[in-house]
Structure 1
Amino acid sequence: MGAGGLKKEVEQMAQGKLGFGFMRLPVIDGVQENIDLEQLNQMVDEFLGNGFTYFDTSYAYHNGKSEEALRKSVVERYPREQFTIATKLPTFLI
């Protein structure tokens, strides 16, 4: 494998290891439910534009608004095959 091939392989491995967490998103006026979608969209665009694809969220983040923000900023704006989503159900809701 040449140097270019090794560099590409290392870049792909690094991209597979970094995720975008939706636990602490930019908010407006300090209100956790009032997520700044304009700023979030810019962050998502930068993340995906650099080849990263993994997003992590949970119903509990931002008082139930994190998954909705992910839908608006990722799912509704990008083809489904371009990203992976992980979410969690908090045990206190069971």
Structure 2
Amino acid sequence: MALQELNRCPFRVVDEINQGMDPVNERRVFDIVVRTACKGTTSQYFFITPKVLQNLSYADEMTVHCVHNGLQMLPPSKWNLESFIRRGKRKHKHMADQ
């Protein structure tokens, strides 16, 4: 990551950097990527992974996009947006209460 700062570019893609890692080191690497990506003088980062640990720490400067794709996914025509929003609000409230 430190070497990346030597070469200026508008964005960087971090692709599956967590593959094969145990959860402790995966969390550490994610924290390093977050700290690096949220510095005001760095490039925009895209973190691509097929899996993300639960309860990671996200910075206010981050935007998270989750792409759900695959044969086992519920088709969008069967999604219940109100249910998604309710679950998200409950989870957000639960995390704020902790």
TM-score, L = length of structure 2: 0.42
Larger radius of gyration: 2
TM-score, L = length of structure 1: 0.44
Q: Which has the larger helix fraction?
A: 1
